Amino acid sequence: MLRQSAKSLHTLADNCALPAVNWAALSVAVVWGTGSVASKFLLGVFAPAGLQCLRNLAGGLILLTIVALLRPGLRRSLRISFFPLLGLGVLLGVQMLTFVIGLDLTYASEAVLVFSTAPVWTAVIVAVAGLEVMYLRNWAGFFVALGGVAMVMLGAETSPTTVAPARITGDLVMLASTVLYGVYMILSRPLMQRHGTLVVTAVALVLSNVLLVPVGLGQLIATPWRQLAGLHWALLAYVVCVAMVYGMLMWYRSVKIRGASQTIVYQYLTPIVALAAAVAFLHEQPTGWQLVGIVVTLAGVYIASQRPDSP
């Protein structure tokens, strides 16, 4: 009797146990949120295109080297897909260039929040193209997210600052970058299914320099390198090696091991981490309306991302 009762209690504890924390996905949310804040700080000494050129050159080559070591014969398998990958790389370059320009013009917390709506835009583009179905609740979530973004954009102080010289323009540029990322994710699906997500991402990052080097190399050369302090070099290493390389490796590892649904939920923490870091280190001061808008936006993204079994 006691043995049976103990077994029943053990079964009940198993059923009621909290799910294990996905530490890999959690760490990605932290490094991506803080990485955007670090990039915003670096934009005080780097021009936008120059900073993105440096990030993609260094980060793309490091990531591709790691992938090549893990996947022998990678060059031979990718040869047949070179031109589609080149097109993806150019598209990714445009998306990343608009991202860093938007980040330069607006607040870091706003930029990350707007970009967090990327899954919603991906779903909308796919639905408009007739590739998948968006249900009523997904559309409702989409408009709720848009309303939340509008609250964040319109709820801040209107006077320009040195940190956000043209924040509305920056938010709109970031919104365009978010849509471009949705297009990139859709167009990259066939290649990711053929070669693997991490492989395609690494190659696209390297090939994005076809656009970024001509645009950003001049700005990079003109950077006042002698004025860079130790903090600048440390943050450069952080945004390249940690936010970009480590973040992408851990993200795709988590998706592979734990699944997309258990990984993507942690990305709702990224704007919150970015907000906390921006308040602490950049002294950004969101208004009450903006804080409400952040909650509304994340709720809308969550609703829009749900895929019900039936309409």
Which tens digit of pLDDT belongs to each residue from 33-73? Answer: 999 999 999 999 999 999 999 999 999 999 999 998 888 77
Contact yes or no for 20/262 (Cβ under 8 A): no
Return the CA Rg of the chain. Answer: 21
Distance in angstroms (rounded) separating the CA atoms of residues 265 and 209? 31
pLDDT at 161 over 90: no
Report H helices in the chain.
Answer: 2-16, 23-42, 48-70, 74-78, 82-105, 108-115, 118-128, 136-154, 167-195, 197-207, 209-221, 230-237, 247-258, 260-264, 270-277, 288-305
Euclidean distance between CA atoms 271 and 250, whole angstroms: 18
- Report phi then psi at 286, rounded to 5: -65, 145
Cα(149)–Cα(166) distance, integer angstroms:
16
- The pLDDT value recorded for residue 181 is 94
**Joined tokens for residue 1:** 């009797």
User: Tokens standing for 212?
Assistant: 């970024």
| pLDDT beyond 90 at 78 | no
Burial class (CB in 10 A: 0-12, 13-18, 19+), 76: exposed
Measuring CA to CA, which residue among 118, 111, 117, 121 is closest to residue 167? 111
Reading the block at residue 101, the tokens are 């320009």
Domain range list for the chain: 22-305
DSSP state of 43: T
Contact 82, 207 (CB under 8 A): no
The model's pLDDT over 230-271, given as tens digits with 9 standing for 90+, comes to 999 999 999 999 999 999 999 988 888 887 777 888 888 999
pLDDT at 308 over 70: no
Contact 145, 297 (CB under 8 A): yes
Cβ atoms < 10 Å from Cβ of 14: 8
Report the mean per-residue pLDDT for the chain: 87
Distances (CA, A) of 301 to 148, 174, 181, 252, 261: 10, 16, 16, 21, 14
> For residue range 271-280, what is the model confidence (pLDDT) as tens digits?
999 999 999 9
Query: In the predicted model, what is the mean pLDDT of residues 301-307?
Result: 84
pLDDT (tens digit per residue) in 111-150 = 999 999 998 898 899 888 887 888 898 899 999 999 999 9
How far apart (Å, rounded) are the C-alpha atoms in residues 89 and 85?
6
Report the distance separating Cα 189 and Cα 104, nearest Å. 30
For residues 135 and 130, give the distance between their C-alpha atoms in angstroms, rounded to a whole number: 13
Q: 69, 36, 48: which is closest to 278 by C-alpha? A: 36
Amino acid in position 94: V
Could you tell me the two tokens for 252?
Answer: 């795709």
* Distance between CA atoms of residues 195 and 200, nearest Å: 7
Residue 104 in contact with residue 48, Cβ under 8 Å? yes
